[in-house]
């Protein structure tokens, strides 16, 4: 099935819109259902409310579920809540259990209870099981729609069971094997199952080298594990190794996107990433907490400058270079911060060691500091004709860049050591901290060598 670009989607939609609006149900269904669910979702997202209600009427709950699963998670709640509640419950029941749970976790408890009461009991029980798990853990993102076989089965019996269960499973590329106590004891790939002789026992052809995760494990750690092992799916077990569910690669892609967005918002000094449909009040509410903190840190920086008022009175030209030194400190600190946060996220920090990273950043700060310090010294000498002023600013920049680079790398490492998300050491926060460092260094040196500047 060919993937459509935006223009092709618009042209196709124009073709089938007439059938929709003229209530030509069979023609609409034939054209719309021919498209890939992703293209269906993109077209669906662009429709006004009255058109969406027509689509709800013309498609079954199972067909709508396929569309909703492809819709941007930021707006999917709007569609679920605008549907007739009974129809919405049917749609949720038809969705993959983990996707339905993700949606229900965002809803009011009363709405969740209403949906679960309305849908079929089997689907409701599956969803309830996953709803109990803490958010952002393996339990909250796993699916219970998988195929499991037993050690004592033959390959022929397992294939018969697989054909029966496969239509409802999220993936069948890995088939997990349990013993008579439902403990996870092995795994077999679909390829190995197909090429095995029919009368062989599963216990003889399975692999007992299993990589699994505990149900309470953090989703970010699981994403790292799946990336390292190149798994398509990962089994989830409890403390007694009972198989509870599986996490598939598409779930992990969603996790990685979510975590990247979350880290980016923190690095930007926002409590939660702004959405396009947020109004000004909501956006301001998300941004204000960090801005208030940074405001007080800025006042602290201003008070430090005030303590050097006598130095500024005697050598007023020093004020010209405050933005330069503070800006350089903020820039190099943010660079070191980005390297450290990425190293923590990818696991490079653990492989190379924290001290090695810190020493490398210190050396980087020394090299960049000496280079920038030399350049600014020469520039100021030819500009102002004062070698001592040039040396003061040059030495200040060199020292500031070393300190700022170390601080930019050290702060997220310390936060990570105490199990605090290192992304909260955001760019604005590090920049403000380095402003304080740069001002102290600059005016401290200026005060100490005042006699050379007068």
Residue 265 pLDDT > 70: no
According to DSSP, the β-strands at 148-150 and 174-178 are parallel
When pLDDT is averaged across residues 249-266 and rounded to a whole number, the result is 70
DSSP 340-382: HHHHHHHTHHHHH-HHHHHHHHHHHHHHHHHHHHHHHHHHHHH
How far is the C-alpha of 358 from the C-alpha of 381, rounded, in Å?
A: 34
Instruction: Please name the residue that has the structure tokens 């259902």.
Output: 33
Q: What is the mean pLDDT of the chain?
A: 83
How far is the C-alpha of 127 from the C-alpha of 104, rounded, in Å?
A: 9
Closest CA to 5 of 39, 29, 49: 39
DSSP 300-331: HHHHHHHHTHHHHHH-GGGGGGHHHHHHHHHH
DSSP class of residue 120 equals -
Residue 330 pLDDT > 60: yes
| 34-48 pLDDT, tens digit each | 888 888 888 888 888
When pLDDT is averaged across residues 8-20 and rounded to a whole number, the result is 74
- Nearby residues of 119 by Cβ (< 8 Å), 6 or more positions away: 89, 90, 92, 93, 127
C-alpha neighbours within 13 Å on the C-beta side of residue 258 = 16
- Rounded to 5°, the CA angle 433-435-436 comes to 70
How far is the C-alpha of 270 from the C-alpha of 285, rounded, in Å?
A: 10
| 341-374 pLDDT, tens digit each | 777 766 677 767 778 888 888 899 899 999 999 9
When pLDDT is averaged across residues 214-240 and rounded to a whole number, the result is 88
Domains of the chain with bracketed CATH: 6-136 (1.25.60.10), 148-250 (3.10.580.10), 280-453 (1.10.357.20)
When pLDDT is averaged across residues 197-219 and rounded to a whole number, the result is 92
Q: Are 282 and 271 in contact (CB under 8 A)?
A: no
Helix (H) or strand (E) holding 233: strand 233-237
Q: Are 272 and 424 in contact (CB under 8 A)?
A: no
Q: Which tokens hold the place of 312?
A: 């500024």
When pLDDT is averaged across residues 195-203 and rounded to a whole number, the result is 93
Backbone dihedral region of 182: left (phi > 0), alpha (psi from -120 to 50 degrees) or beta?
Answer: left
Instruction: Please name the residue that has the structure tokens 């494990």.
Output: 217
Q: Are 138 and 215 in contact (CB under 8 A)?
A: yes
What pLDDT does 162 receive? 93
Helix (H) or strand (E) holding 282: helix 280-307
What pLDDT does 192 receive? 92
Q: Which residue would you say has higher pLDDT here, 423 or 145?
A: 145
| 64-109 pLDDT, tens digit each | 999 998 887 778 888 998 999 899 999 999 998 888 888 888 888 8
pLDDT band at residue 1 using 50, 70 and 90 as cut-offs: very low
| 274-311 pLDDT, tens digit each | 454 556 776 677 667 766 776 777 787 778 777 777 77
Residue 415 pLDDT > 90: no
Closest CA to 238 of 186, 187, 185, 183: 183
When pLDDT is averaged across residues 237-264 and rounded to a whole number, the result is 80
Residue 268 pLDDT > 70: no
How far is the C-alpha of 145 from the C-alpha of 348, rounded, in Å?
A: 34
What pLDDT does 267 receive? 55
Residue 116 pLDDT > 80: yes
What pLDDT does 193 receive? 93
Reported residue count of the chain is 454
When pLDDT is averaged across residues 1-22 and rounded to a whole number, the result is 70
What pLDDT does 262 receive? 61
Closest CA to 241 of 186, 183, 198, 327: 183
């Amino acid at each position: 099935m060919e993937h459509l670009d935006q223009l092709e989607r618009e042209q196709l939609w124009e073709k089938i819109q007439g059938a929709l609006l003229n209530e030509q149900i069979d023609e609409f269904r034939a054209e719309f259902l021919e498209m890939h669910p992703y293209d269906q979702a993109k077209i669906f997202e662009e429709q006004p409310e009255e058109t969406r209600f027509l689509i709800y009427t013309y498609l079954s709950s199972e067909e709508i579920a396929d569309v909703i699963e492809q819709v941007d998670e930021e707006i999917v709640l709007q569609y679920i809540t605008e549907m007739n509640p009974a129809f919405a419950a049917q749609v949720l029941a038809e969705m993959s259990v983990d996707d339905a749970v993700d949606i229900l976790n965002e809803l009011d408890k009363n709405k969740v209870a209403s949906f679960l009461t309305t849908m079929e009991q089997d689907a409701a029980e599956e969803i309830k099981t996953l709803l109990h798990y803490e958010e952002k853990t393996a339990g909250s993102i796993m699916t219970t729609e998988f195929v499991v076989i037993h050690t004592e089965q033959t390959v022929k019996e397992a294939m018969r069971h697989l054909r029966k269960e496969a239509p409802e499973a999220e993936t069948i590329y890995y088939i997990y094997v349990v013993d008579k106590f439902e403990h996870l004891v092995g795994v077999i790939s679909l390829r190995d199952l197909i090429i095995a002789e029919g009368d062989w026992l599963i216990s003889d052809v399975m692999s007992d080298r299993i990589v699994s995760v505990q149900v309470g494990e953090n989703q970010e750690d699981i994403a790292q594990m799946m990336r390292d092992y190149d798994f398509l799916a990962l089994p989830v077990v409890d403390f007694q190794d009972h198989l509870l569910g599986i996490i598939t690669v598409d779930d992990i892609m969603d996790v990685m996107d979510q975590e990247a967005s979350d880290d980016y918002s923190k690095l930007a000094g926002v409590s939660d990433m702004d959405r396009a449909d947020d109004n000004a009040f909501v956006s301001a509410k998300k941004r204000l907490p960090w801005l208030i903190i940074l405001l007080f840190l800025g006042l602290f920086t201003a008070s430090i400058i005030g303590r050097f008022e006598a130095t500024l009175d005697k050598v007023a030209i020093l004020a010209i270079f405050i933005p330069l030194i503070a800006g350089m400190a903020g820039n190099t600190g943010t660079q070191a911060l980005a390297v450290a946060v990425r190293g923590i996220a990818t696991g490079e920090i653990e492989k190379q060691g924290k001290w090695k990273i810190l020493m490398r950043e210190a050396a980087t700060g020394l090299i960049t500091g000496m280079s920038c310090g030399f350049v600014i010294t020469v520039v100021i000498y030819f500009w102002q004709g004062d070698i001592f002023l040039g040396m003061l600013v040059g030495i200040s920049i060199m020292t500031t860049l070393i300190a700022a680079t170390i601080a930019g790398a050290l702060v997220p490492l310390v936060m990570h050591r105490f199990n605090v998300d290192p992304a909260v050491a955001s760019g604005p926060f590090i920049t403000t901290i380095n402003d304080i460092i740069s001002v102290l260094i600059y005016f401290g040196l200026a005060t100490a060598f005042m006699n050379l500047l007068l």
